Structure 1
Amino acid sequence: MNLIVVLVVFFNLSSAATHHGDWSEWSNFGRCSNMCGKGAQLRTRTCTNPEPMNGGSYCLGPASEQIECFEKPCEDEWTSWSEFSLCSCTHGRGYRTRTREKNCTVDVSGGNSCGIKESETRECTASCNLVQKVDGGWSSWGEVLKCSKPCGGGIRIMSRTCNNPVPANGGLFCPGSSVQTSACNEQPCKVSSTQRPFVTLPSKMWVTLKKRSARISLKKNLNRMK
């Protein structure tokens, strides 16, 4: 009976013992991270040989490891050429250019030459000797002029000119108007106390008044002759 008790106590004490963790074997290295140029291969291990138990410490060291790899050189890929620019003429000679851009994954030398641009230039001097039409363009609007009237409704004028650039070699004149107007000083004019308002009479009334004035003048002249 005593022997059984001793064995049970020994088993309980041994099962509660502290176990520190230890690493498993390394896995095989995986595939290279890049299909061309320089890349990296990774392998891993786990802290399961055995796992830490009853307060045991975790495995020391890294759980992963990587090495450099190189599959094959990357081939530089260029984008399509852009359209040629307009002919730029200077001192009778003209040139036009087009560009394209390198679009690669990784540079073989380890640097980064991807994204650089390449240009091609061609001469177009013959185009410089042709007379080109130049359509006109408006300048900025000038300052607004003073109102034409102090009261009773006036006009402000603002103007611009077709000189930016000036039409040349049969080019079109600027579209639109060169003048812009706006209303101003629309308040009614004040009439002074000594000034009588001017009344416009119909034409028939003017004729009647003129006849009456002529009759009065005639009577005065006849009375003087008597």
Structure 2
Amino acid sequence: MSCSKTCGGGTMVQKRLCNDPAPSHGGRTCVGLMEEVTTCNTQPCTTVDGGWSQWKDSGCSQTCGGGFIAKVRKCNNPAPVHGGRNCTGQSFSLEDCNKNPCPGN
């Protein structure tokens, strides 16, 4: 049995069966509720703002004559939760690389 939420108020459902022993030979069915719902983890959720992961790059697209490096990062370090702010800035970047001229043909 676990709570439906980790914070902000969740519920736990506890169920029971009428089978220990089950009614038989005209015996009466069990008395009481078959399901009980209780609240849990009622403490407020803590707001967490998003943070950027490290940049990951593709490597230079050319060995000479000018190329580019594509860089990406994600807003998952940590990811924003409970109304926290998204990361600000760019998640994608292009940079020049290997600008030196290529040797002659």
- The answer to which structure has the higher strand fraction is 2
Q: Which has the bigger relative contact order, CA under 8 A and spacing at least 6?
A: 2
Bigger-Rg structure (1/2): 1
TM-score with structure 1 length normalisation?
Answer: 0.25
TM-score with structure 2 length normalisation?
Answer: 0.48
- The answer to which structure has the higher helix fraction is 1
